[in-house]
Chains A and B, each alone.
Chain A
Amino acid sequence: MKVVVERDQCIGAGMCVLTAPAVFDQDPDEAVVVLLDEQPPETQRPAVEQAVDRCPAAVIRLLP
């Protein structure tokens, strides 16, 4: 599984970090999403799917 983020539209709401802290962080300056792991292990799938669903700005995508 591959994760992509669109940082331009990120509002830094923090849902991804709350939901999947092993995969996402926020940069210290603007609190914009930082992808810690572009190809997380399959065990992270439920958490990443949740992060996609809970991101208010819809900037996270999960590729097969």
Chain B
Amino acid sequence: MSLPALPLPGEDQLPFDPPPEYARLRAAPRVIRVACPTGLDAWLVSDYAGVREVLGDGRRFSTRPGQAAHVLGAFGGPDAPISGFSQLDGPEHIRIRRNFAPQVSHPRRLAELRPLVEQITDDAVTRMLASPQPYPLHSRFSTAITTAVIAELIGVPPDRHQLLHDAATALFTTSTTPDELRRAVEPLWAYLYQLVATRRARPGDDVLSRMIEHSADSARPLTDAELTEMNGALLIAGFDTTASMITYGLVCLLNTPGQWEKLCADPELAASAAEELVRYLGVGAGLLRQATEDTEVHGQPIRAGDYVVVALQSGNRDTALHPDAGTLDVTRKPGAHLGFGHGAHACVGQQIARIELTTVLGTLARRAPGLRVAVPLEEIVWKKDSVVRGPAELPVAWS
């Protein structure tokens, strides 16, 4: 008998919800065996507690195979053009995270970043409101903002932004071959490798320079290759995920009766709305892990070497997390969820993403409360073959 295939049926019919089958899998909760698009078979964990257990225990469940190798053919595996710190576990991985954290999640660093994000967002809203309608929100607004923020942080000038767009598009597209990925990523890597040398010679106030300085006094300073990879990861992981969350989040808010109106009536709700959208919509494709020893989840035996896929969005809709987890509620008090992952690999950029999402939602609610999607929901063109879900483009209008 052939295994049920991932994605489970219904994935592309429901714009905002995980396939209905997940509700049945969560209820028991049951761990089932599935066939993944890239050809590997895995155990599928769908409930909140189960997902937290797997992601929270890096000793039993390793990221070594690459966290998206179940959906991205060119990602992970022995021939992967991109591998690196994300596939490390334990102290080796923590060493890298300790070099990220002071630049991207320290509260005083974040206080410095906030005005930059506010300025970039304000300018983008001003540009939009001065443009003819309908306006292509995803490319000209969401992607423009998130690219500007991360590029500015690392000090990559606008004439190089295309490098990171090409690399991210290739990486997140499921049909990309390893060769295509290598070709798309190499120019960015070559550029960053040079940038490392430049900043070593002439430090600035950017994340890369600060990483160089920070690690210089440590027992094992970061190598040029590590710095290239870490900054490349920030650039690639940093803009498309967040841009898609802005665009996808806005469609969802505008489409759920009363939610946009609540936010506009009280723009201070922007922070809880941002958190709720990441919970409600986050990372449909799920994440991949590999068991390091014979173990079990919810009584299902899992052998050493077996693959495990955790369905984050399904876990976030578990009634064990919130009795009304299936409802989008911008007034929900921010709490734990799986939208940024969990465990040692939880999103490096989550505090930056929170600042960006909160700033964008708050600014739009204040300055463009008459915002609306300019086409019917059925006519929105969604990204195809991408692990980062959301509209490919979104025409918007305002009054």
Asked whether A12 lies within 8 Å of B336 as measured between CB atoms, the reply is no
Asked whether B105 lies within 8 Å of A12 as measured between CB atoms, the reply is yes
Which chain A residues border B56 with CB–CB below 8 Å?
A: 58
Which chain A residues border B105 with CB–CB below 8 Å?
A: 12-14, 26, 31
A44 within 8 A of B: no
Beta-carbon contacts under 8 Å, B321-348 to A: 335-336, 340-344, 346
Beta-carbon contacts under 8 Å, B347-385 to A: 350-351
Q: Mark A14-28, 1 if CB is under 8 A from B, else 0.
A: 100110010001101
Give Cα distance in the complex from A12 to B335, angstroms.
Answer: 18
Which residue in chain A gives the minimum CB-CB distance to B99? A30
Asked whether A11 lies within 8 Å of B107 as measured between CB atoms, the reply is no
Asked whether A13 lies within 8 Å of B336 as measured between CB atoms, the reply is no
B98 within 8 A of A: yes
Asked whether A30 lies within 8 Å of B94 as measured between CB atoms, the reply is no
Which chain B residues border A9 with CB–CB below 8 Å?
A: 94, 344
Which chain B residues border A28 with CB–CB below 8 Å?
A: 102, 106, 108
Asked whether B344 lies within 8 Å of A12 as measured between CB atoms, the reply is no
A50 within 8 A of B: yes
Give Cα distance in the complex from A46 to B56, angstroms.
Answer: 22
Which chain B residues border A29 with CB–CB below 8 Å?
A: 102, 214
A32 within 8 A of B: yes
Asked whether B344 lies within 8 Å of A14 as measured between CB atoms, the reply is no
Residue among A9, A12, A25 with the highest chain B CB neighbour number at 10 A: A12
Q: A14-B110, A53-B335 are in contact. Are A30 and B343 (CB under 8 A)?
A: no
Q: How distant is B28 from chain A, measured CB to nearest CB, in Å?
A: 24
Give Cα distance in the complex from A25 to B106, angstroms.
Answer: 9
Asked whether A11 lies within 8 Å of B101 as measured between CB atoms, the reply is yes
B30 within 8 A of A: no
Q: How distant is A23 from chain B, measured CB to nearest CB, in Å?
A: 13
Q: A31-B98, A58-B56 are in contact. Are A14 and B106 (CB under 8 A)?
A: yes
Cross-interface CB contact of B336 among A18, A30, A32, A53, cutoff 8 Å: A53
Asked whether B342 lies within 8 Å of A56 as measured between CB atoms, the reply is yes
Give Cα distance in the complex from A26 to B181, angstroms.
Answer: 38
Asked whether A54 lies within 8 Å of B106 as measured between CB atoms, the reply is no
Which chain B residues border A57 with CB–CB below 8 Å?
A: 343-344, 346
Q: Mark B96-136, 1 if CB is under 8 A from A, else 0.
A: 01101110011110100000000000000000000000000
Which residue in chain A gives the minimum CB-CB distance to B354? A18
Asked whether A56 lies within 8 Å of B107 as measured between CB atoms, the reply is no
Which chain B residues border A12 with CB–CB below 8 Å?
A: 97-98, 100-102, 105-106
Asked whether B346 lies within 8 Å of A13 as measured between CB atoms, the reply is yes
Q: A14-B106, A18-B351, A50-B335 are in contact. Are A56 and B97 (CB under 8 A)?
A: no
Give Cα distance in the complex from A2 to B62, angstroms.
Answer: 32
Asked whether A56 lies within 8 Å of B108 as measured between CB atoms, the reply is no
Asked whether B102 lies within 8 Å of A31 as measured between CB atoms, the reply is yes
Q: How distant is B205 from chain A, measured CB to nearest CB, in Å?
A: 16
Which residue in chain B gives the minimum CB-CB distance to A24? B107
Which chain A residues border B343 with CB–CB below 8 Å?
A: 56-58
Which chain A residues border B350 with CB–CB below 8 Å?
A: 13
Which chain A residues border B101 with CB–CB below 8 Å?
A: 11-14, 26, 30-32
Q: How distant is A28 from chain B, measured CB to nearest CB, in Å?
A: 7
Which chain B residues border A53 with CB–CB below 8 Å?
A: 335-336
- Which B residues are closer than 8 A to A by beta carbons? 56, 94, 97-98, 100-102, 105-108, 110, 214, 335-336, 340-344, 346, 350-351
* CB pairs A–B below 8 angstroms (29 shown): A11-B94, A11-B344, A12-B98, A12-B100, A13-B105, A14-B107, A14-B110, A18-B107, A21-B107, A25-B107, A26-B101, A26-B105, A26-B107, A28-B102, A28-B108, A29-B102, A30-B102, A31-B98, A31-B101, A32-B98, A50-B335, A50-B336, A53-B335, A56-B340, A56-B343, A56-B344, A57-B343, A58-B56, A58-B343
- Known A-B contacts: A12-B101, A14-B101, A56-B346. Give 7 more (CB < 8 A): A9-B94, A13-B105, A14-B351, A17-B107, A18-B107, A28-B106, A32-B101
